[in-house]
């Protein structure tokens, strides 16, 4: 049965006479504390926070003076005391609460300033289990939640970014804070503790190898409010979860206007794709449109790779995202800016390349400091009505797979190299996916069709269009290889690829009609390998 509420209206303005400050992150703390003290607010504090305030020359009352009890157990127990929590949770206009506070000498606290042990940072640092556990804050979240619950009388500040607005509100209201302002601070406080607890529960599940815990929580911090979502009538915000995986969320934007919702989605897809390619082996460039690649290529240089990638589908590349696995250099930058491009993302960029891109003031340039590890474990989350679908990241890499030749003819070494290249790309193409590759470059991509044979035909049609645009006598799908993200359910999709000019095929296998598909390949002297791994991407 729910706890009954007493009908006691919350006051609008509550004077701030006493503040409890207990923070791990001491950013701007001293200036904030000094402003509070100047406004006549009594400062109460704990441990290192109290020491910092005192060393700055301000009067500060130790929390043990309120509790009559010293900090114990290496500081684990300092604010977990009725004199603190009674001061935070007491409903001051409730006669019973007021009497309890008087009887037990509990002095009210009007403002709490608290942030938490850096659990998320320590977890990501690779620290030992015991060290991570020690950085689970207990007193801080308890204090924050108590103050937030009793926002009718207490203001809670959890973010140094809010210090200025708190001081401004105090000045505007002659030393008081309004109920509306306290509510907003409380909402942010509960969101912070929820995110903190989500990180802790997620770490425990990971440490204990519990793939699907009974309760699952996800949290993030607002990075930016966007002009709109996928479409102008949809609102959107971008939240980051603190994961340091190189990519759009951790990148440094060197120039250009704010990234849009679709920019972020497409840039993530682009950079995850180029992360499949070792920069020590060759330069690789991917051009992405609507989260699908419209051209990917390897080359001796980024400029050469970009030219080959662009040739695959120059029409779709207009307004796309360009990602690369090496430092953006001037030669590549000069070529890329010749075509309207929304975003360039790379591990780094030379000073000359930065100057070249700067001439296009709206073109966003992002540098990440590294490439994402395609083999790393992780999770992906998708919302559905009433729930969330959570799965492990697709971290299967074709170089790690046991490729099984199932036809009479085995692929040549050159075909094998292109087959592996094509299967890497197919992993990042929306299903049903068909990818034609020749000489380390895509020459036709069919994506997102309900029928695999349609994807094969669309990819071949695009190759014909690209050949006409380039003035070639025949499409580059002639003497290419082809990859399929899932098995061919019938031989018709394979026959369409053969008609387009493919000489070798890579696919997962596993269809009831595998024998028919293999027979069709043998009848046309086509080499085929099975990977045993499917790469559906929806």
Q: Give the C-alpha distances (Å, rounded to integers) separating 314 from 262, 279, 292, 317, 396.
A: 20, 24, 14, 5, 30
**Tokens 């395609």, residue located:** 374
Cis peptide before 400 (omega within 30 of 0): no
- Strand ranges, E, within 351-440: 364-367, 379-384, 387-392, 404-405, 434-437
Structure tokens at 60: 């500060």
- Is residue 218 within 8 Å of residue 203, measured between CB atoms? no
Active-site residue, 360 included: no
- Return the exposure string of 15-54: e unless at least 16 CB atoms fall within 10 Å of the residue's CB, then b: ebbbbbbbbbebeebeebbebbbeeebbbbbbeebbebbe
Please give the Cα distance from 120 to 303 (Å, whole number). Answer: 40
Catalytic choice (149, 188, 360, 478):
149
Structure tokens at 362: 């709206």
Given a contact cutoff of 8 angstroms between Cβ atoms, the answer to whether 294 and 445 are in contact is yes
Question: Whose CA is closest to 44, among 102, 101, 113?
Answer: 113
**How far is 343 from 323, CA to CA, in rounded Å?**
8
Q: Of 153, 156, 175, which is closest to residue 15 (Cα–Cα)?
A: 175
Collapse the DSSP code of 514 into the 3-class scheme (helix H, G, I; strand E, B; otherwise coil) and give the result.
Answer: helix
Distance CA 526, CA 423 (A): 17
Q: Examine the residue annotation and report whether 290 is marked as an active-site residue of this protein.
A: yes
Q: What angle do CA 359, 365, 370 make, to 5 degrees?
A: 145
Cα(153)–Cα(178) distance, integer angstroms: 10
The residues that bridge with 382 in the sheet, in sequence order, are 389
* Residue tagged active-site, from 81, 184, 290, 478: 290
Tokens, residue 104: 């037990």
Rounded to 10 degrees, what is the CA torsion of 274, 277, 281, 286? -30
Angle at Cα 270 formed by Cα 264 and Cα 272, nearest 5°?
100
- Burial (CB < 10 A; 0-12, 13-18, 19+), residue 452, is buried
Q: Determine if residue 532 is left, alpha or beta; phi over 0 gives left, psi from -120 to 50 gives alpha, anything else beta.
A: left
Count how many Cα atoms sit within 13 Å of the Cα of residue 403 in the half-sphere of its side chain: 21
Question: What are the structure tokens assigned to 431, written together?
Answer: 């299903």
Residue matched to tokens 């009538």: 233
Q: Which residues are catalytic?
A: 149, 290
């Amino acid at each position: 049965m729910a706890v009954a509420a007493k009908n006691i209206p919350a006051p609008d303005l509550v004077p701030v006479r006493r503040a409890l400050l207990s923070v791990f992150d001491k950013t701007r703390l001293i200036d904030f504390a000094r402003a509070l003290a100047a406004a006549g607010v009594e400062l109460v504090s704990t441990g290192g926070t109290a020491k910092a305030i005192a060393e700055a020359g301000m009067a500060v009352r130790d929390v043990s003076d309120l509790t009559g009890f010293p900090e114990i157990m290496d500081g684990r127990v300092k604010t977990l005391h009725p004199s603190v929590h009674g001061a935070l949770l007491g409903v001051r206009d409730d006669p019973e609460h007021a009497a309890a506070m008087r009887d037990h000498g509990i002095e009210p606290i009007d403002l709490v300033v608290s942030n938490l042990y850096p659990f998320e940072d320590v977890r990501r640092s690779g620290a030992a289990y015991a060290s991570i556990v020690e950085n689970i804050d207990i007193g801080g979240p308890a204090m924050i939640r108590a103050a937030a619950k009793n926002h009718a009388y207490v203001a809670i500040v959890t973010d140094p970014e809010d210090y200025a607005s708190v001081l401004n509100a105090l000045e505007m209201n002659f030393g008081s804070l309004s109920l509306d302002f306290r509510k907003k601070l409380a909402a942010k406080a509960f969101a912070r503790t929820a995110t903190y607890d989500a990180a802790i529960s997620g770490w425990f599940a990971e440490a204990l190898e519990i793939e699907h815990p009974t309760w699952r929580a996800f949290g993030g911090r607002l990075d930016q409010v966007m002009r709109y979502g996928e479409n102008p009538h949809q609102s959107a915000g971008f939240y980051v979860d603190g994961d340091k995986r190189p990519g759009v969320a951790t990148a440094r934007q060197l120039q250009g206007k704010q990234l849009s919702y679709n920019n972020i989605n497409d840039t993530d897809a682009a950079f995850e794709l180029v992360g499949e390619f070792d920069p020590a082996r060759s330069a690789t460039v991917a051009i992405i449109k609507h989260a699908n690649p419209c051209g990917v290529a390897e080359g001796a240089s980024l400029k050469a790779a970009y030219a080959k990638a662009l040739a695959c589908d120059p029409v779709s590349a207009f307004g796309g995202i360009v990602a690369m696995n090496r430092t953006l250099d001037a030669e590549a930058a000069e070529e890329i800016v010749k075509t309207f491009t929304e975003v360039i993302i790379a591990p780094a960029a030379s000073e000359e390349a930065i100057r070249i891109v700067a001439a296009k003031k709206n073109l966003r340039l992002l540098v990440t400091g590294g490439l994402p590890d395609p083999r790393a474990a992780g999770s992906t989350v998708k919302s559905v009505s009433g729930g969330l679908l959570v799965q492990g990241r697709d971290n299967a890499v074709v170089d790690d797979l046991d490729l099984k030749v199932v036809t009479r003819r085995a692929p040549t070494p050159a075909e094998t190299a292109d087959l592996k290249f094509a299967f890497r790309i197919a992993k990042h193409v929306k299903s049903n996916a068909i990818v034609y590759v020749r000489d380390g470059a895509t020459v036709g991509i069919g994506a997102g069709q309900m029928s695999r044979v349609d994807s094969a035909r669309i990819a071949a049609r695009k190759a014909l269009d690209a050949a006409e645009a380039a003035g070639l006598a025949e499409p580059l799908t002639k003497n290419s290889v082809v990859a399929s993200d899932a098995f061919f359910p019938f031989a018709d999709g394979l026959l369409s690829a053969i008609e387009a000019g493919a000489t070798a095929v890579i696919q997962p296998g596993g269809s009831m009609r595998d024998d028919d598909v293999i027979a069709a390949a043998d009848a046309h002297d086509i080499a085929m390998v099975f990977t045993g791994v499917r790469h559906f991407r929806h």
